[in-house]
Each structure stands twice: as C-alpha cells, then as structure tokens.
Amino acid sequence: MSNITGRIREAFRGDQRVDPDALIARLDAVRRFLAAVDGLLPDAQLVPAHTLVERAGTRLALSRDHTVIALAGATGSGKSSMFNALARLELSPVGVRRPTTGVTHACVWGPLEGASRLLDWVGVLPRHRFVRESALDADDETALHGLILLDLPDFDSVQRSHRLEVDRLLGLVDQVVWVVDPQKYADRVIHDSYLREFHRHRDVTLVVLNQADRLPPTELPRVLDDLRRLLDADGLTGVPLLATVAIDPAGMVGLRSALEQTVAERQAALRRLAGDVDTVVATLDELVGSAAPPRGPDDATVRDLDRALAGAAGVPAVTEAVGQAYRHRAGASTGWPVVRGWWRLRPDPLRRLHLPGPAGDRSEPAESLAAATSVPDPTAAQRSALGLAIRAVADRAAHDLPAAWPAAVTTAARSRLADLPDALDRAIAGTDLGLGRRPLWWRLVGGVQWLVTLAAVVGLGWLVLGYLLRALGLPALDNPMVGQVPLPTLLLLGGLLAGLLVAALTRPLVRWAARRARARAEQRLTAEVARVGDEYVLAPVRIVLDSYGQARDALRDAARR
C-alpha cells in the first residue's frame, strides 16, 4: 500500500501548483473573450464558457479552505461503503437492493459553518449533510479537516434522475474519486461517457479499484494493469490508481492518505477550475484562428464599393448635370448679350436635380433636407451591383477568418443598408460642386461683350439719327470716316461682328472648362460617397474585425497556464 501512496505523491508532486491570481486572470480572459464575441457568434457555442465564468466566480467566492470530493461510480461499486468507511460512521445506507443511494450525501470534516454555503451551492439537502467533528475523534481526523466528501448516486443508473444528479454534481465538485469494481471496471459507460470527458482534469482525478478483496491476490496486479491501460486510452495517463477494500479499514489506508494530501494542499478547487478553463479554451479554439486579424478588405474591393455606391447615388447624373450647368451658366454670363436672355429662360440643369442653383441662389438649402435631391433613384442593376460590392467587402474582409466569423462580418457590412440611400443623398446634396463662384474670365468676356454691343448700338443710333435728319430735310451729320467706311457703320458692323467672334472664340473655352468642372465635381462627389461607404459599410466591418482580434488575444491569454 505504501508503494501505491508513494505513486500518488509522485503524481501530485509532478503537477504544478495553480496560482489563484493566474487562474483569476485566465477567467478574466474568458470573460473578455465572451464580451468581444457577444452578439457576433452563435450563443449555443458559448454556453460552456458562460457556465464556466459563472461557476468559477461562485466557487472562488465560496470557501477555499474546503475541498469538495465526490465518490462517483456504478451502482454496487461500493461508494457508500467507502463513504462510511472514511467517515468511520454509518451515514449513507449500504444495501443489497440496487441502486441504493438516490440522493447525494455529504460529510464535512471540521466545522459546518464555512461548508454550509458551499453545500447550498452544490445542492446537497441539509438532512443529508453530516459533520465529522466530534470530541471522540481526538486528533485522528484533523488531517482531513476541510474535506467535504460526497457520496453520489450511481451514474449508470436505471433511474434517470440519478444520472442527472451525478452529471450536475460532477460539474461542480473540486475532485472526483472514480470507484470501480473488478466486475465492471471495463464497462464502456464509465470510460466513454465519463472518464474520457475528464482527460483535462487529470490532476483532480483519482481512480480506485474497490472490492480488491474479491480478486485472488495473483489476479490483482493483472486487473490493475488492465485498468491502467484503459485509463491511458481515456487520456488519463498518470492519474493515481489505487486498490481498496471498503469493508476493511486496512484496505482504505492508501485512499485516506491520498485524500489527506489533497485536503492539505488546498489546490483541488483551483486545479479543477484550471482544467475547466483548459476544456473551454479547447472548445473555443476553433472559433479563432492563429493568423492576425485582417485590417479590412483590400483597396481594389473598396474602390469597387465606392464605384457601386457612386452609381447608386446618381453621381454620373449629377456630374453630367454639372457639365451642362457650367455651359448654361457660362452661356448666360459670356454669351452675346442679344441672346443671353434666351439662356436665362432655359432651366438650370442642377436646379432640376434640386441641387444648388446659380451662384448666390440659396432658395433651396439642400443640405438641411433628408431626401434633399431629386437625383434619379438607382436602377435595379445599380442596386444589385451595390449588393454585390457589399458582399465582396464582407467576403474579402472575412477571407482569413475561421468559419464562425464570416456570417458576423456579412451582417455587419449590411447592418446600415437601410440608412444608406438617405446618407448618400445627403452627401450628394452637401457636396460643394464647385459652381458657387462666377469665374473672373466670365466677367471679362461678359464685359467685352457689353462693350462691343454698346459700340454696335451707338453705331446704329448714329445711323438712325442721320437717316431721320435726312428724311426731315435737316442738315446732315458729318460722318467721320475710318478709311473708306463711315464710323457709325463701322461701329455697328464691327460691334456685331466682334460680338459674334468673341462668342465663337469663347465656346471651345467654355466646353473645356465645363469638362474640368465636371471632373472636379465627380472627384468631390466620389470622395463624399466614399466617406459614406466608410461610415456605413466599412466601419461596422472593422468593428467586427477588431472584436475578432480582441477575442483571439483574450483566448490566447486564457490558454496560458
């Protein structure tokens, strides 16, 4: 037996101590992970992590001086006998009728006070709680002070309620002693449904082969070896394995001393929670990858988005109108004064879109209106192009992310889709299209046009006056001559010709300047539309990518033992 006890000591010594602060930091990291992925990943995948955070918080807040150890096993393996043998009292009925134990019994070594709240939380009814603290014991039991031993119902029970009770308690206790017997130690239920599940809790797992007295002494080592092989296959390599005889005090020495050591170390609760964190981290691992979070979609994809947004926002229609408006307004300022009125009669192309009209016209302050412009609604093709561009943004941004994330990125990219049309319209309405001021050269050309027209009018007046004087028989005016041509005629014809000439020369200049005005407006509109795309499509995507980065860092911290 002492040999076995030595092996237990060795196994425990081999395990590192769990630092409470480090454990709390790991739990905080799990909490950070949950906060980062909240609303982004399916809740079903996060249940174990939420459960851990809640349970661990409660367990750490309760007595850390107590160690809750459960005896778990199949019916008839001898759990209650062992419970009674350790308590040295008949506390839990042992029977021949199977299963015997239907509700969990607890025995507390030491005063009940600190243990009561722990047992309330674990959920052992007060009438099934016993205290192993009496003057009769003298110092015999002090080594187990702080132990709360639980006798569980059978986990392979025909009674469903027994299995539920066992499963519930196995999630809460600090350490489990798995009790098997020579007949059923190889049962698949215990290995497949239970022991294997505890492979990350090796350092709070202890296995006992009870009823060792029922085996011929030569058989015992063979059975223990066989059981060890099965435990190795369960992933429980190195867990302490003891042979016990619950009905013989001498057959309980090894287990008792193992429990004494566990209680003295006060590590089981921390080790159990550390194992829980390991398990949760392993289940969450597939939710984050090893690659650094992407910064967002590539430039080409963003450019495609901006182009699709510009199309949907009617930027081509507005830039076209800017070109026309430039020509219209330039015509009204620089055209031949005789036909300028005709320009003014035609509606300004920008006013038709409810965009700022001619310089100084603020009759419709477009900036202040929600649906400010009358830019044509996007066509079905433009709408679908925008949908595709947004999907491409999500696809590119989520390209390197693990499978759980692309859906969240797509949802984020589309999250403000309903607000997009108004935002685009406001952006168009608020863009300075660059037609606010009348260029100086318009005024110069306009001035020249007025001068030459004035000359023509003076010439005409002069000629009409001369004609009238002649008609009334009055002395004619003395018309000065310029070369062979009388001055009034020169003024009239020269003025008319010069006006037409200036108009003809100005036209290509206006066309060139209109193209420039159009290009400038297009650039400004595209920039504004891109800003909307950034705010309404890319920013929500970046938030999800940031969350991914935080979740990934948090999980890495949580994994650090």
Return residues touching Mg ion (CB under 5 A). Answer: 79-80, 100-101
Residue 208: CB minimum distance to ligand GTP, A = 10
Rank residues 158 and 233 by Cβ distance to ligand GTP and give the closer one.
158
Half-sphere exposure of 133 (CA within 13 A, CB side): 14
Residue 410: CB minimum distance to ligand GTP, A = 52
Judged by beta carbon distances under 5 to 8 A according to partner kind, the member of ligand GTP, Mg ion, none in contact with residue 439 is: none
Rank residues 37 and 94 by Cβ distance to ligand GTP and give the closer one.
94
Residue 9: CB minimum distance to ligand GTP, A = 23
Tell which residue, 243, 242, 175, has the closest CA to residue 203. Answer: 175
336 dihedral zone (left: phi>0; alpha: psi -120 to 50; beta): beta
Of these, 67, 175, 205, 210, which contacts ligand GTP (CB under 6 A)?
210
Encoded one letter per residue, x for contact with ligand GTP by CB under 6 A and - for no contact, window 539-558 reads --------------------
Does 247 participate in binding ligand GTP (rule CB under 6 A)?
A: yes
For every residue of 193-212, DSSP letters joined together read IIGGGGGGGGGGEEEEE--G
H or E element at residue 117: helix 113-122
Judged by beta carbon distances under 5 to 8 A according to partner kind, the member of ligand GTP, Mg ion, none in contact with residue 498 is: none
Query: For ligand GTP, how many residues bind (rule: CB under 6 A)?
Result: 24
- Measured between its terminal Cα atoms, the distance across the chain in Å is 33
**Residue whose structure tokens are 């505890």:** 198
Cα separation, 94 vs 116, in Å, equals 25
> Using an 8 Å Cβ cutoff, are 322 and 518 in contact?
yes
Judging by beta carbons within 10 Å of its beta carbon (0-12, 13-18, 19+), is residue 404 exposed, middle or buried? middle
Rank residues 107 and 353 by Cβ distance to Mg ion and give the closer one.
107
Cα separation, 266 vs 121, in Å, equals 19
The runs of H, that is alpha helices, within 335-401 are: 337-345, 349-352, 380-397
Judged by beta carbon distances under 5 to 8 A according to partner kind, the member of ligand GTP, Mg ion, none in contact with residue 211 is: ligand GTP
Judged by beta carbon distances under 5 to 8 A according to partner kind, the member of ligand GTP, Mg ion, none in contact with residue 448 is: none
Residue 279: CB minimum distance to ligand GTP, A = 26
Residue 165: CB minimum distance to Mg ion, A = 12
Please identify the residue of the shown chain whose CB is closest to the bound ligand GTP.
78
* Distances from the Cα of 490 to the Cα of 463, 467, 478, 485, 486, angstroms: 10, 16, 15, 6, 6
Maximum Cα–Cα distance across the chain: 161
Judged by beta carbon distances under 5 to 8 A according to partner kind, the member of ligand GTP, Mg ion, none in contact with residue 213 is: ligand GTP
Residue 122: CB minimum distance to ligand GTP, A = 18
- Of residues 49 through 108, those in contact with ligand GTP by CB under 6 A are 73, 75-81, 94-96, 98-101
Does 245 participate in binding ligand GTP (rule CB under 6 A)?
A: yes
Tell which residue, 221, 229, 104, has the closest CA to residue 172. Answer: 104
Of these, 36, 104, 154, 390, which contacts ligand GTP (CB under 6 A)?
154
Of these, 15, 133, 213, 535, which contacts ligand GTP (CB under 6 A)?
213
Residue 143: CB minimum distance to Mg ion, A = 25
- The alpha-carbon radius of gyration of the chain (Å, integer) is 46
The piece of 17-25, 210-218, 317-325, 408-416 that touches ligand GTP (CB under 6 A) is 210-218
The amino acid sitting at 450 is W
Rank residues 154 and 306 by Cβ distance to ligand GTP and give the closer one.
154
Residue 243: CB minimum distance to ligand GTP, A = 10
Cα separation, 144 vs 88, in Å, equals 12
The Cα angle at residue 85 between residues 81 and 90, in degrees rounded to 5 = 75
Rank residues 213 and 553 by Cβ distance to ligand GTP and give the closer one.
213
The amino acid sitting at 131 is V
What 3-state class would DSSP assign to 158? coil
Rank residues 251 and 297 by Cβ distance to ligand GTP and give the closer one.
251
> Using an 8 Å Cβ cutoff, are 429 and 373 in contact?
yes
Cα separation, 339 vs 356, in Å, equals 24
User: What residues form DSSP beta bridges with 175?
Assistant: 69
> Using an 8 Å Cβ cutoff, are 476 and 470 in contact?
yes
Rank residues 8 and 255 by Cβ distance to ligand GTP and give the closer one.
255
Strand order across the beta sheet in which 147-151 lies: 129-131, 105-108, 147-151, 67-73, 175-180, 205-209, 241-243
Tell which residue, 188, 185, 119, 177, has the closest CA to residue 148. Answer: 119
Rank residues 133 and 213 by Cβ distance to ligand GTP and give the closer one.
213
Rank residues 28 and 213 by Cβ distance to ligand GTP and give the closer one.
213
Rank residues 211 and 257 by Cβ distance to ligand GTP and give the closer one.
211
Rank residues 84 and 382 by Cβ distance to ligand GTP and give the closer one.
84
Residue 130: CB minimum distance to ligand GTP, A = 16
Judged by beta carbon distances under 5 to 8 A according to partner kind, the member of Mg ion, ligand GTP, none in contact with residue 306 is: none
Residue 131: CB minimum distance to ligand GTP, A = 21
Residue 74: CB minimum distance to Mg ion, A = 10
Rank residues 93 and 461 by Cβ distance to Mg ion and give the closer one.
93
User: What residues form DSSP beta bridges with 482?
Assistant: 485
Residue 80: CB minimum distance to ligand GTP, A = 3
Does 5 participate in binding ligand GTP (rule CB under 6 A)?
A: no
Judging by beta carbons within 10 Å of its beta carbon (0-12, 13-18, 19+), is residue 512 exposed, middle or buried? exposed
Interacting residues toward ligand GTP by CB under 6 A: 73, 75-81, 94-96, 98-101, 153-154, 210-211, 213-214, 245-247
